[in-house]
Structure 1
Amino acid sequence: MGRVSEDEVSVMTHDAEPTGGRRGASAPARRHPPKTRRPTPAPVVASPAITALEARIAELRAHPDGVHTPQTLVDAFRAEHASSPIIEPDPAGVPGLRVVTFALHDAAAERVLLFVNRLTDETDLDRSLMRRVPDTDLWHLSYRMPDDWIASYSYSVQRPGHLAPWERQPDQRGVRDALDHGLADPRNPSQITNRAGVRISVAALPHAPAEPWRAVRDGVPQGRLTAHAGPDGRRLWIYEPAAGDHGAVAPAPTPVLVVLDGDVWCDAQPLPTILDNMIADAAIPPVTAVFVDSADRERRWAELDAHGGIVDWLADRLRPWLVARLGGAIDLAPRRVVVAGQSLGGLAALAAVVRRPDAFGGAIAQSAALWQPDVAREAAACPPRGARIDLQVGLQEWVLLEPTRDLAAQLADDGVDVVLTEVDGGHDYAWWRRTLPTALRRQLAEPQDAEADPA
């Protein structure tokens, strides 16, 4: 975390007590998301480019010329298609569709599994095994996808004499861990860091959401990012926006953005840089962001679960700590405090505005874990009409898509200010970081009036 000011770093620990109402209480048994098959198999198709290559190889085998071999034809193909994946027009000419071909050159591989976020069905991995062009080093697999599709992907390679990485695991969790530690595509410079901390590749078709604010820009002042031991010793990072050309702290008071899984978003996913650039472009006002560490996997599941207690910790422990630390530099009126999260974090963000409207007025819930129905039921019983809610979900998330649509419709019918955004993608940082700014612009828009929040 190169941006974190060293002189601001306090002693930090992962061993703090559980949050909020969980302290000293017996927690319900951990619930697991359902492992259901894709409702329809991923749309595997033949690539016109690969088909033409195989035709040339077949012609060569029928009529050897003494010069070329199947591998030399593949080498020429590789030079012609220098980047991966290969994106081609739909062979049937259907507007809005493309053929996406993943191509890996590995002569020593025995089998290669292509792991594409939510195209790969973890209950049927054989469908994601790549095909090899015989007598060459080329492995390939093609899908027919809408031209706004985006997904992260990686390769898992079986070597001769060894079990495949995905087959030497004792359970589904081990299989997923093996898939999360795949290899990035060496011919694709677009990469992202997954939840396991592994660099993997990103396939983004021409009309996928853009990310104009991701890269550091010359001349844009950087906000200050500092690390702290927050309430109960939990690790926190605070982003304070810069103002002017010299990086001075922005005028007070600013709205507050609370980011769950903050350890990911202030490092692997460059949200501080995104905020710098959005503020510089006047896309959002200056904002103070608080990145909340999720610690290890088990603690994350325990705390961000619908029964986990993180919401009360944010309201009753974090808010007073922020007042003591930042005072008048921040505006903690509920309408000016937004909670953002993904997956279980998205569920917790929703729970924040449903359960604690006295503390939180905005929620950005990306791919919220609505396979847990508790929060949606609470919202139906007591609609959070004073909140602004942004729901975002991937069209490839077959477990979450319909519950998210249902919740959006329910909230709208109940008069809640809700916006639903659907992205052709999976459960994936590849699109979460691209569409988060859209929700930030709406959530952080300056208030239209100066009326105080109702008592």
Structure 2
Amino acid sequence: MRPPRIAKYPPPEVVRSPRIEALRAGDDGDVEAFWAQVAASGTPLVEPRDGEPDHRTVTFVWRGSEATREVVLLANKLTDPSVWEASTLEHLDGTDVWHRSFRLRADWRATYQLAPDDGSGNDDEITGPPSRWGAAAARAVSDPYNSKTFGSRYGDAPHSVVELDAAPPQPYVAPRPGIARGTVTRHRFASDILDNERDVWIYEPTRAATDVVVLLDGEDWATRLPAATILDNLIAEGAIPPTIAVMPSTVDNATRWRELACSEAFVAFVADELLPWAARDIAPQRTTLAGRSLGGLTALFAALHAPGRFGRVLSQSASLWWPSETDFDAGAGAIVEAYARAEGDVVQNTRFHLEVGLQEWALLARHRHLRDVLALHGAPLSYSEYHGGHDAICWQGGLADGLIALMSG
């Protein structure tokens, strides 16, 4: 089972860059001078738009060679195999400059990679945009002119980061000097319910904890993403109470797909095995279940399947397409429909925080529908839309926002 392949809508808005057009016309010096300026200023190139103070022209560039045949831009939820032409850079004739420009809102944040094709692979044998996209992803690299990178979850090349000037701040993701720092310990936990075992990371604050958050996809939060730093900063500031974080690994990708696709057994594992072991003395109403993508789906499912056990749900870009890969446009989706049928008191006893990216065209409408369903039930609810995609660079800031929204007051 995989997310449905539906065409990106609306497609990215491709525009012309004044800087590239000046280079094309010979009004911006020679190509060597252009690359020297790029090296000094970094990429992507960001230019204002006349009469549009809330938008920017954002240009991605690649310095090619005589062998370069194509350069694919893999920008999270901006480009896609369904808009192949917009997802490939244009060659500026007579130069080594490859470029593509987009009109984007000034609050955009995303990760991206570039995939040049110099003819050394076998892409000519691959037909169809999805297959070509997979081939491009396999050879993708970070942008050599962008010094800001973000680690890859699966150990491949790091991703480059673009944050436009109006992107919302993420004030809790960087370590702060002089504050108390909690401890993170790694454990091996065997589940009788699931008949498997996994790593679990436990974050413990320096003061006695009154709250607990379970962070699904725990190996990511404990390594690549700064969960401990975020919690240190939030607790030190008094934005949330002292909180334990329980971060269970997903074991492997196949197990993740099986356990985080609305599995009753996985919910029982968290509720009846993991939480009693890690945070026995913390009440259900002070327990948050947090997940993104399939983890967000599971958090929403758990609140219905084990009512009263999770007083708070933090769902980021939940996979509300589940379970349909092909019949995506039919109906509201299984979880949304389940909440529409739920008894009001079941929903009202849980606090929810939902967030989704405006670039997530396959998820945005369903998140808005779920928001409205929860509001009709009278559920305690906060809801956020950010200008980005299905992207951990956005989720790390959203975790802090969601915990504040759920735990304050």
Point out the more displaced range, 225-234 or 307-316.
307-316
Q: Among residues 174, 188, 194, which one is paired with 1:215 in the alignment?
A: 174
Q: Among residues 59, 64, 89, which one is paired with 1:106 in the alignment?
A: 64
Q: Distance in 2 between matches of 1:174 and 1:255?
A: 47
1:235 and 2:199 equivalent? yes
Q: Distance in 2 between matches of 1:306 and 1:234?
A: 19
Q: Among residues 217, 220, 225, which one is paired with 1:261 in the alignment?
A: 217
State the match for 1:319 in structure 2: 275
Q: Distance in 1 between matches of 2:35 and 2:2?
A: 46
1:48 and 2:18 equivalent? yes
Give CA-to-partner distance per residue, 1:163-182, whole Å, 9 cap, x none: 349x7599948944752662
Aligned residues: 389
Q: Which residue identity is paired with 2:25?
A: A
Query: How far off its partner does 1:309 sit?
Result: 3.0
Q: Among residues 301, 309, 314, which one is paired with 1:359 in the alignment?
A: 309
Q: Distance in 2 between matches of 1:298 and 1:48?
A: 47
Q: Which residue identity is paired with 2:335?
A: V
The 3 A distance-change label for structure 1 pair 125 and 105 is same
State the match for 1:349 in structure 2: 299
Q: Which residue identity is paired with 2:174?
A: A
Query: How far off its partner does 1:321 sit?
Result: 2.0
Mapping of residues 298-313 of structure 1, within 5 Å: 298-307=254-263, 309-313=265-269
State the match for 2:325 in structure 1: none
Q: Among residues 100, 103, 116, which one is paired with 1:157 in the alignment?
A: 116
User: Given the two structures, how large is their TM-score scaled by the length of structure 2?
Assistant: 0.89
Q: Distance in 2 between matches of 1:395 and 1:284?
A: 27
State the match for 2:329 in structure 1: none
Native 8 Å contact 1:96 1:146 kept in 2: yes
Query: How far off its partner does 1:258 sit?
Result: 0.2
Q: Which residue identity is paired with 2:334?
A: D
1:225 and 2:184 equivalent? yes
Q: Flag structure 1 segments of 5+ consecutive residues without an equivalent.
A: 1-30, 60-67, 243-249, 447-455
Q: Distance in 1 between matches of 2:76 and 2:373?
A: 29
Query: How far off its partner does 1:109 sit?
Result: 2.8
Query: How far off its partner does 1:102 sit?
Result: 1.0
Q: Which residue identity is paired with 2:89?
A: M
Give CA-to-partner distance per residue, 1:198-234, whole Å, 9 cap, x none: 3101111111121112122222222110011123222
Q: Distance in 2 between matches of 1:289 and 1:181?
A: 36
Q: Distance in 1 between matches of 2:78 and 2:364?
A: 15
Q: Secondary structure at the match of 2:141?
A: coil
Q: Which residue identity is paired with 1:238?
A: I
User: Given the two structures, how large is their TM-score scaled by the length of structure 1?
Assistant: 0.80
State the match for 2:326 in structure 1: none
Q: Among residues 113, 132, 135, which one is paired with 2:94 in the alignment?
A: 135
State the match for 1:292 in structure 2: 248
Q: Secondary structure at the match of 1:360?
A: coil
Q: Distance in 2 between matches of 1:200 and 1:180?
A: 13
Point out the more displaced range, 231-240 or 134-143.
134-143
The 3 A distance-change label for structure 1 pair 41 and 211 is same
Q: Distance in 2 between matches of 1:180 and 1:281?
A: 42
Give CA-to-partner distance per residue, 1:8-29, whole Å, 9 cap, x none: xxxxxxxxxxxxxxxxxxxxxx
Native 8 Å contact 1:354 1:375 kept in 2: no
Q: Distance in 2 between matches of 1:78 and 1:377?
A: 50
State the match for 2:137 in structure 1: 179
Of all paired residues, the percent bearing the same amino acid is: 37
Query: How far off its partner does 1:432 sit?
Result: 0.9
The 3 A distance-change label for structure 1 pair 130 and 440 is same
Native 8 Å contact 2:317 2:355 kept in 1: yes
Q: Secondary structure at the match of 2:82?
A: coil
RMSD of Structure 2 on Structure 1 (CA): 2.3
Native 8 Å contact 1:228 1:236 kept in 2: yes
Q: Distance in 2 between matches of 1:317 and 1:217?
A: 34
Q: Which residue identity is paired with 1:156?
A: A
Q: Distance in 2 between matches of 1:315 and 1:177?
A: 41
Q: Which residue identity is paired with 1:415?
A: G
Q: Distance in 1 between matches of 2:215 and 2:262?
A: 17
State the match for 2:330 in structure 1: none
1:72 and 2:28 equivalent? no
Q: Which residue identity is paired with 1:354?
A: L
1:280 and 2:257 equivalent? no
Q: Distance in 1 between matches of 2:259 and 2:378?
A: 30
Q: Secondary structure at the match of 1:220?
A: coil
State the match for 1:336 in structure 2: 286
Larger Rg: 1
Q: Which residue identity is paired with 1:429?
A: A
Native 8 Å contact 1:216 1:273 kept in 2: yes
Q: Distance in 1 between matches of 2:127 and 2:223?
A: 30
